[in-house]
Amino acid sequence: MKVALITGVTGQDGAYLAEFLLKKGYFVHGLKRRSSLFNTERIDHLYQDQHENGVNFKLHFGDLTDSTNLIRIIQEVQPDEIYNLAAMSHVQVSFEMPEYTANADGLGTLRLLEAVRILGLEKKTKIYQASTSELYGLVQAVPQSESTPFYPRSPYAVAKIYGYWITVNYREAYGMFACNGILFNHESPLRGETFVTRKITRATSKIALGLQKCLYLGNLSAQRDWGHAKDYIEAMWLILQQDKAEDFVIATGVTTTVRDFVKMSFAELGIEIEFSGKDENEKGVIIDIDQDLILSLGLNDLYLKPGTTVVSVDPKYFRPTEVDLLLGDPTKSKTQLGWTPKYDLPMLVKEMVHADLQLMKKDEYLKEGGFNTLNHFE
């Protein structure tokens, strides 16, 4: 039985990867942070009572900022594969917490690699490092491939560039099977609520149900190459199954603006919107409503009227330095890994919007029953 250790197991990718590896017959160990509230919602369906026989999923308390903890867990677990997914992964938040981001995302990667070396596991343990298209930052060339130069534009990206190069260095210096997956944005119904896609799909559902009036966003012109997390975690695994350790770009090869993602999400609920105005004054206004679709989705059309502004720009979401355009070239992963995504953007939008609609209907039901369902994130 192969043994995997996933850092960041409670995150979007960690949850999908844990499920995927369990299905492949792995024993999966996950590193989770201690928190004052439960933080295992994404993996609760995988929970196993440790007193039962046949356990193959186990969680360990840990943190990428704690070397001794990492050394002890890796010694205990003796993993064949480590997937380093743990990170302070929010670009905008990294401007507010640059030092912590550098510590967790940059030095955290070093701590893991060094733990493997200290324990003499260089030849046994393969390591996947969650690198990112944010490394490309200020556009040097499009589409971006494994040979495109990096130009990071946030404390997050600068921390991740350290993670990228220290992984390459440990591969070259110590012959470790350590690889970077340079993954472009990937989303899902499990995506954190403050990333733009999930913020949009939650808000469109809430607006359609009359639970929210307007969606406030930052840069609507940013372009991203969005894929589905389920496809991307499969690529992570494939990268570690190769004969030779190498780095791979994982992307769809299609880019879309935030503005178009918003339009697609509203359209999924029968609401057609049009944008007008520029920069801080840009607005998204309802121009048409598909009543039949609205009713078939069990939505109350009372709240929705053509002419209503449902999207506005709030400059507080603008970043000090922005990444304007990401478009990946997945040629190497397609030819060498045989990786092809099963989802395209319309499928992703559909899945996310309908998952959030179900969640928001639950909220609406609770609200009608007198329960407080307020949550304070933006």
Query: Is 99 one of the catalytic residues?
Result: no
Q: What whole-number distance in Å separates Cα of residue 276 and Cα of residue 270?
A: 20
> Which CB atom, from 125 or from 154, has the smaller least distance to ligand GDR?
154
Per CB under 6 A, residues contacting ligand NDP are: 7-8, 10-14, 31, 33, 35, 39, 63-65, 85-89, 104, 130, 132, 183, 185-186, 192
Instruction: Tell me the residue nearest to ligand NDP as measured from the CB.
Output: 11
- Summary count for the chain: helices (H), strands (E): 12, 15
Task: State the nearest-atom distance from the C-beta of 350 to ligand GDR, in Å.
Answer: 18
User: Active-site residue 351, yes or no?
Assistant: no
317 binds ligand GDR (CB under 6 A): yes
Which residues are 274's β-sheet partners? Answer: 285
Name the token pair of 225. 């190459």
Structure tokens at 13: 């990718």
Distances (CA, A) of 198 to 8, 194, 362: 19, 7, 17
To which H or E segment does residue 193 belong? none
Which of 29, 111, 224, 228 is in the footprint of ligand GDR by CB under 6 A? 224
Give the active site residue among 83, 128, 156, 170: 156
**Catalytic (active site) residue 216:** no
Choose, from 81, 134, 234, 268, the residue flagged as catalytic: 134
* AA letter at 215: L
Q: Which does 65 bind (CB under 5 to 8 A by kind): ligand NDP, ligand GDR, none?
A: ligand NDP
- Residue closest to 21 by CA, chosen among 96, 150, 128: 128
Choose among ligand GDR, ligand NDP, none what residue 205 binds, the Cβ cut-off being 5 to 8 Å by kind: none
Looking at 84-92, 302-310, 349-357, 368-376, which segment touches ligand GDR (CB under 6 A)? 84-92
Among 303, 307, 297, 298, CA closest to 273 = 307
Question: Is residue 188 involved in binding ligand GDR (CB under 6 A)?
Answer: no
**What is the DSSP secondary structure assignment for residue 149, as one 8-state letter?**
P
Residue 252 interacts with ligand GDR (CB under 6 A): yes or no: no
Phi/psi region, residue 195 (left: phi>0; alpha: psi -120 to 50; beta: rest), is beta
Say whether 304 sits in a helix, a strand or coil: coil
Q: Helices (DSSP H) in 119-193: which residue ranges?
A: 155-174
Strands (E), the chain: 3-7, 27-32, 57-61, 81-84, 126-132, 178-183, 186-187, 215-217, 223-224, 227-228, 248-250, 256-257, 271-276, 283-289, 309-313
Tell me the closest approach of the beta carbon of residue 28 to ligand GDR, in angstroms: 22
Catalytic, out of 7, 10, 132, 197: 132
Give the separation between CA 1 and CA 5, rounded to whole angstroms. Answer: 13
Question: Which residue lies nearest ligand GDR, judged by its C-beta?
Answer: 222
The listed partner (ligand GDR, ligand NDP, none) that binds 224, CB under 5 to 8 Å by sort, is ligand GDR
Contact of residue 317 among ligand NDP, ligand GDR, none (CB under 5-8 Å per partner type): ligand GDR
Return the number of the residue (74 or 157) whose C-beta is nearest ligand GDR: 157
- Smallest separation, CB 11 to ligand NDP (Å): 2
CB of residue 285 to ligand GDR, shortest distance in Å? 18
| Binding range to ligand GDR, per CB under 6 A, among 26-34, 130-138, 290-298, 362-370 | 130-138
Torsion sign (Cα): 55, 47, 180, 75? negative
* Token pair belonging to 328: 């990946």
Is residue 218 near ligand GDR by the rule CB under 6 A? yes
Name the residue nearer to ligand GDR (CB basis): 114 or 322: 322
DSSP string, 319-336: -SS---B--B--HHIIII
Distance of closest approach, residue 13 Cβ to ligand GDR, in angstroms = 9
Q: Is 311 in the site for ligand GDR (CB under 6 A)?
A: no
- Picked from ligand GDR, ligand NDP, none, the partner binding residue 33 (CB below 5 to 8 A depending on kind) is ligand NDP
CA end-to-end distance (rounded Å), the chain? 42
Residue (91 or 209) nearer to ligand GDR, CB:
91
Residues taking part in catalysis = 132, 134, 156
